[in-house]
Structure 1
């Protein structure tokens, strides 16, 4: 998999807020005890694929590295990071950030820190779209009628079914984005987002569904979005999950979607992902909603060989509808064969991505039972999971 870095733009002056008497640039407004841009940094750093992050700060910000070092001392990012200064235009700031990305980087996410409500799932969709495109951008349908205005008069009404309101982050093949910025400098292009560079190069730009909650803080009235509503403190809850699969002719051996070559096959109705099944049970335990068999019975043809990630998505949707926030997951895989340790890092990253969680909040361990029981006799495996969540008061 190509390496992935992100460029986080935090170099704007916030002129609209300044006109309203707010001197602090929006990206440095305090949000939950840290500058606003730090929330985007935390979400990006939690992506399993991300190896590093470049902060693009205003030229007059002072020692930006000291600021990032202080913030990271309180909440480590867990990825490499660098700091650079922005330019006069947005594209100049992106170019400055891109110059700090390692030359061998394969993919780059570019994000405006004024959109602090990005989600891991949106980032994952963008990176997945790069499998078949040079760039990927999130777009929302345009609901208002749009007019082309010339000299104060309506000149044209575009077909809004062909229009999309574009957000960030935007994802790019790094070589294409570099070539776009090099051409822009050579030919004096002026663009409003990096996807325009790819379009002018003749490259392909995929559009994935945007997120209505991924709102940009632009005007003074937008600041209310940063105010947490006063509500009763949520209640911490714990759920326990347990699942077993026996070895035999059936499904490939997978854990959190990671296929382990040379391992025994497992007998299962769905795809046989024992680890994800245990996680599902743990989450259902937090919700007080029974177990996996009640929601996805193995007697139903509907769930025959269905990816466990699909089942997990449905359970996560239950948690969202319930207002429950999953804050930590501790998992253990128990088997005599295959050896899990060589794959544990990848399994953990994959599971964190499935959950849309920071990898530091997902733990994975593996053990054997020293030849005892059915796992010790190499007749199967079992997985356990403990989920900690915050659930709203009834």
Structure 2
């Protein structure tokens, strides 16, 4: 494949503004829920079905130690995508340039993200990558409306202008770009000695169009000492659960998919989408956690837009709705019922892929396959079915 989209996690800053509050530790390395901040960003980005790999940028003097930590974390809870590493530079733009040099030849688009934004949601990653893929622009960035009135001042502090607030956006990361255009902009900046605060500013300066799409107010950056309270903040939440059930008949023309893993073989599925019966049951279970309806309502089978669509893409949309409802998944228990094919050889791959898609630790996803002892329609090899039980925490409003 030669049209890959990769993510870059920038974790090479020195964090001098917060050194006193953190005991000298750079903010992106602060622990949060059992892992450094940069790892939370990485897992959220890798969970998007549009991301093919990640490049981590660490301080040069800490590169080998941080690389080993990343590999150890990935061994415990795999991101499910290839990982590469690069040493940071003196400036942010130098670190980005080093990361771009580490990308594979197959990469055509890239998302640049600050490792000190640990609250990134996968839905935002997918929204940016989709907008870049479907648009006619070189860059797409997330932004949120500015709520305070902003004033421009002169060197003495006197107001010179009040911009129209409706046109202003506070910009976040990740920022998505066509790789060739971004590389060319960085090469020019290096030749001409430019200093910029983000990659979008660089693209604007060379005249490349940059589109702003809806950001996420929760996607905040740990910047000042008072932001450390966000890492200890816990909203009251209540447990909830959802149940899902789905059935598909054999005898169609879709290859058998389970949990986003192609099973293959002689048993073809009759379906409008890709017919992943396990992910369909899982999506209904997730929707059940916040009374969000069912996949038949969200993705009707008479809509040509969903013809042969990947269930992984549909699951990403369901997970985005769950996030909007302040639902955090904590466990999934999944069962497939089929007389054939035998699923034991692919059980581990299915379980690992579902854990990656849900951004859950592996020991919080259970997968089982069973038969109905040759009874019923599954026993007669007429089809396959799946059930899913999801448990979650929902923040009180």
- Using structure 1 for the length normalisation, give the TM-score: 0.75
Q: How far has the Cα of 1:202 moved from its partner?
A: 3.0
In 2: Cα distance, 1:319 partner to 1:35 partner = 22
Q: Contact 2:248–2:270 at 8 Å: present in 1 too?
A: no
Q: Contact 1:241–1:278 at 8 Å: present in 2 too?
A: yes
Q: Could you tell me which residue of structure 2 aligns to residue 206 of structure 1?
A: 211
In the alignment, structure 1 residue 387 sits paired with structure 2 residue 392: no
Q: Could you tell me which residue of structure 2 aligns to residue 328 of structure 1?
A: 332
In 1: Cα distance, 2:322 partner to 2:32 partner = 28
Q: Could you tell me which residue of structure 1 aligns to residue 220 of structure 2?
A: 215
The 1:150–1:391 alpha-carbon spacing in structure 2 relative to 1, beyond 3 Å, is closer
In 2: Cα distance, 1:372 partner to 1:51 partner = 42
The 1:156–1:122 alpha-carbon spacing in structure 2 relative to 1, beyond 3 Å, is same
The 1:197–1:376 alpha-carbon spacing in structure 2 relative to 1, beyond 3 Å, is farther
The 1:182–1:159 alpha-carbon spacing in structure 2 relative to 1, beyond 3 Å, is same
Q: Could you tell me which residue of structure 2 aligns to residue 4 of structure 1?
A: 5
Q: Could you tell me which residue of structure 1 aligns to residue 16 of structure 2?
A: 15
Q: Contact 1:240–1:384 at 8 Å: present in 2 too?
A: no
Partner deviation per Cα, 1:65-116 (whole Å, 9 max, x = no partner) = 3333444444444332233221121101111111111132122111101111
- 1:1-394 to 2 correspondence within 5 Å? 2-18=3-19, 20=21, 22-61=23-62, 63-64=64-65, 65-131=67-133, 132=135, 133-151=137-155, 152-229=157-234, 240-245=243-248, 265-266=270-271, 274-283=277-286, 287=289, 295=293, 305=302, 317=321, 321=325, 323=327, 325-328=329-332, 330=334, 332=336, 334=338, 357=359, 374=377, 381-391=383-393
The 1:198–1:378 alpha-carbon spacing in structure 2 relative to 1, beyond 3 Å, is farther
The 1:67–1:244 alpha-carbon spacing in structure 2 relative to 1, beyond 3 Å, is closer
**Aligned pair count?**
376
In 1: Cα distance, 2:295 partner to 2:53 partner = 42
In 1: Cα distance, 2:224 partner to 2:270 partner = 57
In 2: Cα distance, 1:123 partner to 1:297 partner = 22
Please list every run of 5 or more consecutive structure 2 residues that lacks an aligned counterpart in the other structure. Answer: none
Partner deviation per Cα, 1:218-277 (whole Å, 9 max, x = no partner) = 110000000143969x76x8755332345799x9899689999x96755x8x99875554
In 2: Cα distance, 1:63 partner to 1:146 partner = 43
The 1:239–1:382 alpha-carbon spacing in structure 2 relative to 1, beyond 3 Å, is farther
Q: How far has the Cα of 1:207 moved from its partner?
A: 1.7
Q: CA RMSD in A?
A: 4.5
- Using structure 2 for the length normalisation, give the TM-score: 0.75
